[in-house]
Amino acid sequence: MNTTPAGVGAAVRVRVIEAVCELAAADWNALGAAPFPFLRHEFLAALEAEGCLGERFGWLPRHVTLWRDGRLEGAVPLYLKFNSYGEFVFDWAWADAYQRSGLEYYPKLVSASPYTPATGPKLLLRPDADEGTRRLLIAAVRELAEQLGVSSLHWLFTTADETDDLESSGLLRRTGCQFHWQNRDYPDFDAFLATLTSSKRKNIRKERRKVAEAGIDFRLLDGRTATAEDWVQYHAMYESTFNRRGGVPTLSLGFFERIAEQMPEGVLLIMAEHAGEPVASAFCLVGDDTLYGRHWGCNTRFDNLHFEACYYQGQEFCIRHGLARFEPGAQGEHKIARGFLPSETLSAHWLADRRFHDAIARHLEFERTGMREYIAEMSDRSPYRATQTT
């Protein structure tokens, strides 16, 4: 599909592709996706090829690409959505208001990495691209939204600078909150603990001691060292955890096996074992400077094992490998006591119906005030000693 905005020179073309595998991985990753494992060509292609998207789950790829003189200059990971699952920027109330007004909210267009609440660029550009390329991409996506007649357009977990550009193009800024950990060049885990208040330090040591005394051992694996059996065992725990909680385990075994093979350095599998048998696991993605916690599964309950596998093992991994940040996923005020502090997240939104666009703009202004107050309140609960710069 050609959606080149009117007035653009003949050397520039916009194409909408329905599978990222239509592009070479090197070309896509060269647009700034490479440092972010959840935006890499290998990750998005695995989702498409291994049954994690499509009509069954309501995610249809409609990636927008921009070409200049036959060279790929920019792209937007984009999906036609028929529900709001797997987004983590919640608009259920918006959909309900549309329905009560006799309007259809779905389908909509969403720029995101499916099932991944992690901040990263959604306006992917070559390093030498100018600001005009970014504006052309935004205009092309807006034009596609109008051509398809969707109710709305949503850019999720955007960076600060691209959120500014989207807002300047008429989209509405939305603010959220997650809890992230900063590695202050700690030489070891004890050095991190030394920055905490006495009560928080003692509690973490107590939690870790209970896991050790229970006889739990850990294996930390990447795509090269994890075996086929490891992935089968992990996926069984991943599925069972979703099923117990009434969720939908959208990621297939084939997806995990594929990204482990094609981007082995970008995955981290934390396997917890008791008496030589796997009892829990945590799956993370590894970026250039950030660890992203994604999924947890278990088949046997041990006190504090979730904290150890999902937080402390990840923090130690960051320290050993010199990663600057650990983003363990969405929500969770309990993370504060373990060193994770509130961090602002951003998204941008456009609604075709002007009445709803204006009403939601007023709502988001009120919501931003509340979110700023919430972040300030959570920051006041910092576990760090007052003398520490956090």
Task: Identify the band that residue 11 occupies on the pLDDT scale cut at 50, 70 and 90.
Answer: confident
Give tens-digit pLDDT for 39-70.
999 999 999 999 999 999 999 999 999 999 99
Q: Which residue in 78, 137, 145, 85 sits closest to 111, CA to CA?
A: 78
Q: Which residue in 44, 28, 34 sits closest to 79, CA to CA?
A: 44
Domain ranges in the chain with CATH number 3.40.630.30: 12-177+343-379, 184-323
pTM: predicted TM-score of the whole model, two decimal places: 0.95
The percentage of the chain sitting over the pLDDT mark of 70, rounded to a whole number, equals 96
Distance separating alpha carbons of residues 252 and 234, to the nearest angstrom: 11
Q: Any idea what the Cα angle at residue 313 is, between residues 308 and 317, rounded to 5°?
A: 170
CA 319 to chain centre: 22
The reported pLDDT for the residue numbered 246 is 80
**For range 144-152, the mean pLDDT:** 97
The reported pLDDT for the residue numbered 131 is 82
Three-state DSSP class for residue 197:
coil
**For range 350-363, the mean pLDDT:** 97
Give tens-digit pLDDT for 250-263.
999 999 999 999 99
Task: Give backbone dihedrals phi and psi of 341, rounded to 5 degrees, phi first.
Answer: -110, 155
Whether residue 241 has pLDDT greater than 70: yes
Distance separating alpha carbons of residues 156 and 154, to the nearest angstrom: 6
23, two tokens: 């592009």
Which residues, in sequence order, are CB contacts of 302 under 8 Å at separation 6+? Answer: 211, 214, 216, 274, 279, 280
- Write down the residue that tokens 């779905």 correspond to: 106
Distance separating alpha carbons of residues 119 and 353, to the nearest angstrom: 28
Distance separating alpha carbons of residues 206 and 369, to the nearest angstrom: 38
CATH number of the domain at 12-177+343-379, please? 3.40.630.30
Looking at residue 249, the DSSP 8-state letter turns out to be -
The reported pLDDT for the residue numbered 45 is 98
**For range 210-228, the mean pLDDT:** 98
Whether residue 8 has pLDDT greater than 60: no
For residue 174, what are the β-bridge partners?
347
> Looking at the domain 184-323, which fold is it?
Aminopeptidase (3.40.630)
Whether residue 198 has pLDDT greater than 80: yes
CB 281 within 8 Å of CB 262:
no
**For range 97-106, the mean pLDDT:** 96
Task: Identify the band that residue 4 occupies on the pLDDT scale cut at 50, 70 and 90.
Answer: low
For residue 149, what is the enclosing H or E element?
none
